[in-house]
A and B are shown apart, each in its own frame.
Chain A
């Protein structure tokens, strides 16, 4: 029934009323008794009654066990009756009535002894006062009927029924008379192995399963006094009395097996009191979980210990422990398998089982049920003013809790304490039921988690993962532990955050949840104005809670110190971002402004980096406030860039910057010089140049030892040096310094780059251009030396352009000379009107480049130079005379006199040429004549070959021989040997060849060709 009713979520009680004796059964009267008894039990009384036959079980959970406005007949459809309603007016089996309805009809009649009639009687009563019978439909009101022996029907029932309508006011509740035969009380309540065991003073034991199925059996004939259910085995150990007198019997029940009566099997029965002792009451029982140890304490203070399998009859040994005193034993608890705590009214003892030795831990005892083994190792003992903990070594801490303790239980990590309510009213009226107070103490977190008064408590049971309170009134109250979340939220509501935190962490609450608690705690403290306390909590959330949440809170309220604390921790934990650093420093600054705490200084000077912050950000922030502080910060953390930047930009301490750079390692120095060189040179030209010089030669940090270890140990490192090129641009507006610098560079290392030389020369020229006449010479000299320096590596074209731009003639000329631009040189001379020098160039280079002469001629040159020019023109045949004339005619300032000599010379030479040509012509003519004659001879005259000697070997000619028209004859052998071809005379061929070879090459064409080349390719 329990699952069925629980499913319907009813508040209910089941009252089973039994009739004593063997007389006829009176169901109706028992129902009345049940009504009366149950009304006593509940304050205010029950309102709805279901009168239930015990042989019926509902089959449909829609069949609600409640009371409608009209009495309801519940068991309309019973399986044994084929689920049919036997007759319309039936009201038997199961019926529901409200208290009002029941009292209005004066309950059931008390007169029906034996089976039948009483239900119909009730129907008549109801009808009489105008109630109707309500029913669920047949498909819902279904019941199963259990088999049982039928009792005899009541023969007088019809007669009684006929009088009902008249007599019901005089027969029923109003005339109910009964006697409560026995009100048993629970003597033992124990639990284990998923069952609760209740034993009563009448010797009955009731085994309650999780689904509230009860197995009852008579364990002892008289009474049960002690009992313990093993937690993991189906064994129940009880001590009780089977016969009058003091003869406690130990019985061990195995309720997994049944005996022939269907009851749990009793596997062992033995006398509790050893034979050598006077019979005495057993007052305490302890059974070890391993089923091998059992201890019984007695009224007279003795303790007997049984060793060996307790589940077997007569196995193992029995011993009486010594030195246990004489006051009644009130509690026994095994600690491990070797120790036993013994609590008597007078003292607390620990007994070593092995050596059978007892030691008094404390001369303070406890009442029965007021000691419990907590956590499996600590004995807690409740006394009137406190709860003491004991270990085997002695007394431990205590918890002060006033009140007369009735019982002590342990559940999970909670100590459940039952005390007598010490209210003032208790004594004033005896009628008010005694109240007990239940306090549940969370030992770990030292917190009272539950406190409530109940009616007198008989037992506290812990089973099925929760615990139950059994009251004297046989009510079982179920206490459920709230889940962690709701526990926490309750604690939050009470603002018991620290307890919440302890609870959560002791129950292994997940970290995020814990953080949430810290946050809430922080919020709470914050809202109460305890900003410092709040920050302590917020600090714990670092890494989980969004930092902005906290920061914003404190920023809004302008409470900097807690914020600073938070931020510092944030930094220490390495969770800080740039913004945090900024904020922290800003806070420092603000605080410092307020009261000179020097926090900022402290922070800056924290060299050990106690706070892990972003130095760059820090510098940035501090810089805005105090450059000096920022400087020392940068210095401390070797942030050279920042340092220099500040020194230069903010402080304009260029010398300081320079000396700082000078102390840096080469790479840094190099870098920073490149970066800041420009400014430094502008402001501190001397010093910076000096540094640069160093940097480009053999730089060493200034504070470094002159000879470092490396060089001492023989290692040679190529000294780092910078390229002067990189620095040149810095001297942009300071030519003198640059010159100084570059001169130095060149003097140190002549293999400088083009750029260096270019720059140097360029600046020389610049300086030259600007300097007064007097100084020009020296610079001119300098420039020329460099230009003339064969090592000097410079870009001539560029320098030329510069020279041209600034009109540095000497340079231009030198360069022209260098790159063989004689024509340009000449042109330059001509442009500057210095014909003489132009001419001198011509004289020097005219041989290589005849065009020079022409250039001068075209200039036009002053008349004084003309003769020479013309002479050259004439001798070298640079220009036809006509062209020369044309050229000279273009300018008007020449007189005929100037050219007369030239023309004369030209004409004369022409004349000579003509004469010579004529002579030659005549000569060739005569030769031709001669040849013609010869040809004629060969053509027309006979030729005699009469030479007697071979022209080749000069020996006498012999046949066979070869003759040629040229009067040469050869031996055929010789001819074949010498001749190259068959048609030519070898002698004549060679002479002709020689003639051809000795002929001079055609002069004119070749000369012209070469001159063209010279012209095109100067």
Chain B
């Protein structure tokens, strides 16, 4: 399907906070209670509409385990948005946010939109991190904050779409250089400007857009 823009996202956060479940909920609209550990990096895509424009979200779901950190780091580059996820029922995942944020800021381009997500909001009874704390952290680091539940699908759509909106706004403001794919944004085939240097030129016409996986 033709799209106007392609945004690359990356989902990061400690192991077991529900990154893969968020992705599954967003792309497949289902919840899988038992999920294998993500080994390496997995991948999902979905089409959304913002401001009447079709936008394809290409989402990289990374492994949260420390052992895979070096691999996941290589995926930061070329991401326009990042979902930094912690588990509201486990404080340590919240405590590790700073490390993740440093990692993300260090390896990504400076304009990357980062959204802070407190997942598992359905488990209110086991909550360890208050919503206010999350909000405070987000304010402090200039992030957008939202609490979600991959199980009940609460706020999942919003999280992804709000991030996309933010990116979209930045594009409109001219913050992103949309011709530089390293920013994680790609212009769809119908937008391809003639003579655009290097990437996405006429030669790409034959290749199916997003034919990945």
In the assembled complex, which residues on chain B have CB atoms less than 8 Å from the CB atom of A395? 75
* B49-104 interface (Cβ within 8 A of A): 60, 63, 67-68, 70-71, 74-75, 78
Stretch of B117-125, B162-170, B205-213 contacting A (4+ beta carbons < 8 Å): B205-213
Contact A400 B40 (CB under 8 A): yes
Contact B212 A338 (CB under 8 A): no
Contact A399 B34 (CB under 8 A): no
Q: Please tell me if A262 contacts chain B, counting CB pairs below 8 Å.
A: no
Chain A, Cβ-Cβ closest to B78 = A394
A536 CA / B70 CA spacing, docked (Å): 37
Q: Please tell me if A397 contacts chain B, counting CB pairs below 8 Å.
A: yes
**Known contacts A399-B39, A399-B40, A400-B39; is A393 also within 8 Å of B211 by CB?**
yes
* A355-394 interface (Cβ within 8 A of B): 355, 357, 359, 364, 378, 385-387, 389, 391-394
Task: Say how far B28's CB is from chain A's closest CB, in angstroms.
Answer: 15
Residue from B63, B68, B71 having most chain A Cβ neighbours under 10 A: B71
Contact B213 A364 (CB under 8 A): no
In the assembled complex, which residues on chain A have CB atoms less than 8 Å from the CB atom of B71? 385-386, 398, 400
Q: Please tell me if B203 contacts chain A, counting CB pairs below 8 Å.
A: yes
Contact A338 B206 (CB under 8 A): yes
Q: Please tell me if B137 contacts chain A, counting CB pairs below 8 Å.
A: no
Residue from A338, A378, A392 having most chain B Cβ neighbours under 10 A: A392
**Known contacts A385-B71, A400-B63, A400-B67; is A359 also within 8 Å of B199 by CB?**
yes
1/0 contact trace for A388-415 toward B, CB 8 Å? 0101111111111100000000000000
Contact A498 B67 (CB under 8 A): no
Q: Please tell me if B132 contacts chain A, counting CB pairs below 8 Å.
A: no
In the assembled complex, which residues on chain A have CB atoms less than 8 Å from the CB atom of B68? 386, 400
Contact B212 A391 (CB under 8 A): yes
- Contact partner of A397 (CB less than 8 A), chosen from B43, B78, B207, is B43
Contact A352 B203 (CB under 8 A): yes
Task: Say how far A342's CB is from chain B's closest CB, in angstroms.
Answer: 15
A387 CA / B212 CA spacing, docked (Å): 16
Contact B199 A398 (CB under 8 A): no
In the assembled complex, which residues on chain A have CB atoms less than 8 Å from the CB atom of B203? 352, 354-355, 357
Q: Please tell me if B41 contacts chain A, counting CB pairs below 8 Å.
A: yes
**Known contacts A338-B206, A355-B203, A359-B199; is A396 also within 8 Å of B213 by CB?**
yes
Chain B, Cβ-Cβ closest to A387 = B40
Residue from B60, B202, B203, B210 having most chain A Cβ neighbours under 10 A: B203
A352 CA / B200 CA spacing, docked (Å): 12
Contact A397 B41 (CB under 8 A): yes
A446 CA / B201 CA spacing, docked (Å): 35
In the assembled complex, which residues on chain B have CB atoms less than 8 Å from the CB atom of A393? 207, 210-212
Residue from B70, B202, B210, B213 having most chain A Cβ neighbours under 10 A: B213
A393 CA / B199 CA spacing, docked (Å): 10
Contact A396 B212 (CB under 8 A): yes
A866 CA / B213 CA spacing, docked (Å): 129
A364 CA / B73 CA spacing, docked (Å): 13
Q: Please tell me if B42 contacts chain A, counting CB pairs below 8 Å.
A: yes
Q: Please tell me if A533 contacts chain B, counting CB pairs below 8 Å.
A: yes
Task: Say how far A534's CB is from chain B's closest CB, in angstroms.
Answer: 12
Task: Say how far A523's CB is from chain B's closest CB, in angstroms.
Answer: 16
1/0 contact trace for A68-92 toward B, CB 8 Å? 0000000000000000000000000
In the assembled complex, which residues on chain B have CB atoms less than 8 Å from the CB atom of A396? 43, 212-213
Chain A, Cβ-Cβ closest to B60 = A397
In the assembled complex, which residues on chain B have CB atoms less than 8 Å from the CB atom of A399? 39-40
Task: Say how far B206's CB is from chain A's closest CB, in angstroms.
Answer: 7
A338 CA / B207 CA spacing, docked (Å): 10
In the assembled complex, which residues on chain A have CB atoms less than 8 Å from the CB atom of B211? 391-393
In the assembled complex, which residues on chain A have CB atoms less than 8 Å from the CB atom of B42? 397
Contact B206 A391 (CB under 8 A): no
In the assembled complex, which residues on chain A have CB atoms less than 8 Å from the CB atom of B67? 400
Task: Say how far A618's CB is from chain B's closest CB, in angstroms.
Answer: 30
Q: Please tell me if B140 contacts chain A, counting CB pairs below 8 Å.
A: no
Residue from A364, A378, A395, A397 having most chain B Cβ neighbours under 10 A: A397
- Contact partner of B213 (CB less than 8 A), chosen from A355, A386, A391, A533, is A391
Task: Say how far B1's CB is from chain A's closest CB, in angstroms.
Answer: 15
A378 CA / B43 CA spacing, docked (Å): 14
Task: Say how far B118's CB is from chain A's closest CB, in angstroms.
Answer: 26
Task: Say how far B68's CB is from chain A's closest CB, in angstroms.
Answer: 5
In the assembled complex, which residues on chain A have CB atoms less than 8 Å from the CB atom of B212? 391, 393-394, 396
Task: Say how far B172's CB is from chain A's closest CB, in angstroms.
Answer: 25
Interface size on B, residues (CB 8 A): 28
Q: Please tell me if B173 contacts chain A, counting CB pairs below 8 Å.
A: no
Chain A, Cβ-Cβ closest to B62 = A398
A354 CA / B204 CA spacing, docked (Å): 11
Contact B40 A386 (CB under 8 A): yes
In the assembled complex, which residues on chain B have CB atoms less than 8 Å from the CB atom of A359? 198-199
Contact B34 A498 (CB under 8 A): yes
Contact B74 A364 (CB under 8 A): yes
In the assembled complex, which residues on chain B have CB atoms less than 8 Å from the CB atom of A536? 33
A394 CA / B41 CA spacing, docked (Å): 14
Q: Please tell me if B36 contacts chain A, counting CB pairs below 8 Å.
A: yes
In the assembled complex, which residues on chain A have CB atoms less than 8 Å from the CB atom of B198? 359
In the assembled complex, which residues on chain A have CB atoms less than 8 Å from the CB atom of B207? 339, 392-393
Task: Say how far B7's CB is from chain A's closest CB, in angstroms.
Answer: 14
In the assembled complex, which residues on chain B have CB atoms less than 8 Å from the CB atom of A392? 207, 211
In the assembled complex, which residues on chain A have CB atoms less than 8 Å from the CB atom of B39? 399-401, 446
A215 CA / B173 CA spacing, docked (Å): 70
**Known contacts A393-B210, A393-B211; is A398 also within 8 Å of B34 by CB?**
no
A352 CA / B199 CA spacing, docked (Å): 13
Chain A, Cβ-Cβ closest to B68 = A400
Task: Say how far A358's CB is from chain B's closest CB, in angstroms.
Answer: 10
Task: Say how far A279's CB is from chain B's closest CB, in angstroms.
Answer: 32
In the assembled complex, which residues on chain A have CB atoms less than 8 Å from the CB atom of B60? 397
Task: Say how far A494's CB is from chain B's closest CB, in angstroms.
Answer: 14
1/0 contact trace for B172-213 toward A, CB 8 Å? 000000000000000000000000001101110011001111
Residue from A339, A354, A391, A536 having most chain B Cβ neighbours under 10 A: A391
- Contact partner of A533 (CB less than 8 A), chosen from B34, B40, B74, B206, is B34
A533 CA / B198 CA spacing, docked (Å): 52
Task: Say how far B195's CB is from chain A's closest CB, in angstroms.
Answer: 14
In the assembled complex, which residues on chain A have CB atoms less than 8 Å from the CB atom of B210? 393
A446 CA / B38 CA spacing, docked (Å): 10
Task: Say how far B139's CB is from chain A's closest CB, in angstroms.
Answer: 34
A357 CA / B198 CA spacing, docked (Å): 9
Residue from A338, A354, A386 having most chain B Cβ neighbours under 10 A: A386
Chain B, Cβ-Cβ closest to A402 = B67
In the assembled complex, which residues on chain A have CB atoms less than 8 Å from the CB atom of B202? 355
Task: Say how far A957's CB is from chain B's closest CB, in angstroms.
Answer: 143
Task: Say how far A387's CB is from chain B's closest CB, in angstroms.
Answer: 8
Task: Say how far B204's CB is from chain A's closest CB, in angstroms.
Answer: 8
1/0 contact trace for A501-540 toward B, CB 8 Å? 0000000000000000000000000000000010010000
Task: Say how far A773's CB is from chain B's closest CB, in angstroms.
Answer: 84
Contact A446 B74 (CB under 8 A): no
In the assembled complex, which residues on chain B have CB atoms less than 8 Å from the CB atom of A386? 40, 68, 71
A359 CA / B34 CA spacing, docked (Å): 40
Task: Say how far B5's CB is from chain A's closest CB, in angstroms.
Answer: 15
Task: Say how far B86's CB is from chain A's closest CB, in angstroms.
Answer: 22
Contact B70 A397 (CB under 8 A): no
Shortest beta-carbon contacts, A-B, top 7: A400-B40, A398-B40, A355-B203, A397-B43, A391-B212, A399-B40, A386-B71
A interface residue numbers (CB < 8 A to B): 338-339, 352, 354-355, 357, 359, 364, 378, 385-387, 389, 391-401, 446, 498, 533, 536
Q: List 13 A-B contacts (CB under 8 A).
A: A352-B203, A359-B198, A387-B40, A389-B213, A391-B213, A393-B210, A394-B78, A397-B43, A399-B39, A400-B71, A401-B39, A446-B39, A536-B33
* Sample of 18 more A-B contacts, CB < 8 Å, known A393-B212, A396-B213, A398-B71: A352-B203, A354-B206, A357-B203, A359-B199, A364-B74, A389-B213, A391-B213, A393-B207, A395-B75, A397-B40, A397-B43, A397-B60, A398-B41, A399-B40, A400-B68, A401-B39, A446-B39, A536-B33
